Structure 1
C-alpha cells in the first residue's frame, strides 16, 4: 500500500556530465541547490550578484554576467533558473525594477505584481542571452517551494501560479521542432507540496524547506538529470569527500598524515580520470 504520491519527473533531452560547468540564478532555494552541486564538485556559479527572487531580477543577473564576464558564461553547460515570486519593487524616482532595496525606506518604492506575460517575457530574454553565449546550453527552470507569508498564503499561491504559468509558456515556445534549445522544468515546488506534504520537511519557520527536504530534492534531481558517468563519479568521490571532512583528534600524528597522503593520492587518480575535477583552493 502506498501512502504518498510520487511526483513524476519528465526526462530531459540531456544529462549532466561529471563536474560539469553550471550556473544557478534565483531565489535562496537556488543558493541551496547550487551549494549542493558545488559540494559534489560540479563547477558552479551561484547567484554571483546575490539572491534574485523574480523573473526581472533573474534577467538582470544574466545581463550583467553577459556584459561583464561573457567568456565565463559561454562555458556554462547547464543553467538552473529558480523563481521565487512575481512581486517586484520599482524605484519611484526612476521607475526601474530594483533587485535589492538595500534597506532603503519602503516609501521610495512601489510594489507591483508581474503578469504571466511579463514574467514570460523576462524569462525569454534571459534564455536568449544564455543561448547567445552558448548555443548548446541546457536551461532548467524551477519554482521555489519557499512560501511567502507576507503576501498571505493565498497570495503566495497566486504568485507561484503566475510563475508556473509563465515557465510553462516559455518552455512551450522552445519545444517546437525548429528550436535548438533544450529548456526543461524540474518540479521542486511540486515535490515539496504534493510528494512530501508534511511540516517535518520544513525548517523551524515553517516556510523554507528543511535540509532533509533539500537533500531529497537533490536526490530526485540526480536520478533524472545526472548521466551514468556523473553518477559513477559521485560514487568514487563520496569516500574521499568524507575523508577530507574528517576532523582528527590528533592532526599531527603519523597515522593521520599517512591517512591524508593516501587520500590525496586517490584524489590525484580521480583528477586524471576526470580532468574537470578540482578541489576548492583554500583562501
Structure 2
C-alpha cells in the first residue's frame, strides 16, 4: 500500500541537460537553490544575473535587458541607506557609489548576454503574479529595496498579462538564440503575506499561463517543483522555520527528480563525481587552515581526468569555493 503520492520523473527528456551545454537560470530564490546544485556539480551555469526575480513582468524585462545589452545608466539608480540601487537588480548588486553599482550590474548584463547567446536551455522559475508598482509611474519593480510602503502600490497580474509577458520573453530570448529551449517551473515557496487564497490564485495563474505558452510555442517544457513540494513531500518537516521556504533536504529531493528527468545516466554519474570533487575542495579540517598544496593536487588530478571541465573548474574556484 502506498502512503504518499510520489511524483516520478517525466519520461522522454533524459539527456536534455549535460555538462557540454550552457544553461541560464533566471527567477525566484528557488532558482538560486537549483543553480547552486548544478554549479556544485560543475555544469556550465549562469544563475540569476539580476538576483532573484519573482514575477513574469520583471523576468520579461530582465530578458529584454540581456538581449538588448541595455546598460544601466546613472539616472536609473537611486540612493537608499547609503547605497545605490536599481529596481531591476537585487541588493547584492547595490554599492556605496553609482559607479560601483553600474559596473557590477552592467558586467552581469554582458556576461548574461554571452551566456544566453550560447545556451542550450533557459530555465525560468516563476514565484508569484503579485507585483509592486511605483506609485508615481506605475512601473513594475523587481525589488523594493526596503523603501517606504507608500513608494509602491500592489496588484495582481491577470492571466492574459502573464501570457503576454511569457510569450514576449520567449520570443525575445529566441531573437538572440533561435535554438534555445525554455524550461519553466513554479517556485515551491508559498507567498502568504496576502493570505493562502491569494497565493493559490497566484500560483494557479502561473500554471495556466505556462500551459498556454506550451500550446503556442515549440520547445517549451515544464518541471513540477511546486507539485513535488505540495503533493509528494507534503510535510512541514520539509519547510524551514518560516514555514514558507523549502529546507535544504527538500531542495535536494526536488533536484534529484530534476536530474533524473533531464540528465542522462552518464551525465548523472559525472555530476556525482563533480559533486564529490567540489565537496572535497570545500572541506575544512577542524582547527586547520586550508591546505593549498593539497587542493592544487586535487584540482590538477581532476582536470587531468576531466580536461573538458577545466575552464568550469577554474571559474568555480575564482567564484569562491
Structure 2: distance between partners of 1:205 and 1:215: 19
Is structure 2 residue 135 aligned with structure 1 residue 98? no
Q: Which runs of 5+ in 2 are unaligned?
A: 70-109
The match for 1:236 is 273
TM-score, L = length of structure 1: 0.89
Question: 3-state DSSP class of the match of 2:220?
Answer: strand
Is structure 2 residue 114 aligned with structure 1 residue 113? no
1:86 to 129, 132, 148: 129
Instruction: Tell me the CA shift for residue 73 of structure 1.
Output: 1.9
- Spell out the pairing of 1:91-240 with structure 2 (5 A cutoff): 91-174=134-217, 179=218, 182-240=219-277
Question: 3-state DSSP class of the match of 2:221?
Answer: strand
TM-score, L = length of structure 2: 0.79
Instruction: Tell me the CA shift for residue 240 of structure 1.
Output: 2.0
Please provide the CA RMSD for this pair: 2.2
Bigger drift between 233-242 and 270-279 goes to: 270-279
- Cα displacement string for residues 111-159 of structure 1 (whole angstroms, at most 9, x for unaligned residues): 1111111101101111111112212212110001111121101111111
Is residue 46–residue 115 contact of structure 2 (8 Å, CA) maintained in 1?
no
Bigger drift between 129-138 and 191-200 goes to: 129-138
Alignment size in residue pairs: 275
- Cα displacement string for residues 78-136 of structure 1 (whole angstroms, at most 9, x for unaligned residues): 11111111011221221211112222222232211111111011011111111122122
Is residue 119–residue 163 contact of structure 1 (8 Å, CA) maintained in 2?
yes
The match for 2:92 is none
Instruction: Tell me the CA shift for residue 260 of structure 1.
Output: 4.0
Question: 3-state DSSP class of the match of 1:278?
Answer: helix
The match for 1:35 is 36
Is residue 28–residue 53 contact of structure 2 (8 Å, CA) maintained in 1?
yes
Structure 1: distance between partners of 2:199 and 2:155: 14
Structure 2: distance between partners of 1:229 and 1:194: 30
Question: 3-state DSSP class of the match of 1:139?
Answer: strand
Bigger drift between 156-165 and 264-273 goes to: 264-273
- Spell out the pairing of 1:254-273 with structure 2 (5 A cutoff): 259-260=294-295, 262-273=297-308
Bigger drift between 270-279 and 86-95 goes to: 270-279
- Aligned in 2, Cα 1:265/1:45: closer, same or farther, shift over 3 Å? closer
Is residue 17–residue 229 contact of structure 1 (8 Å, CA) maintained in 2?
no
Structure 1: distance between partners of 2:242 and 2:47: 24
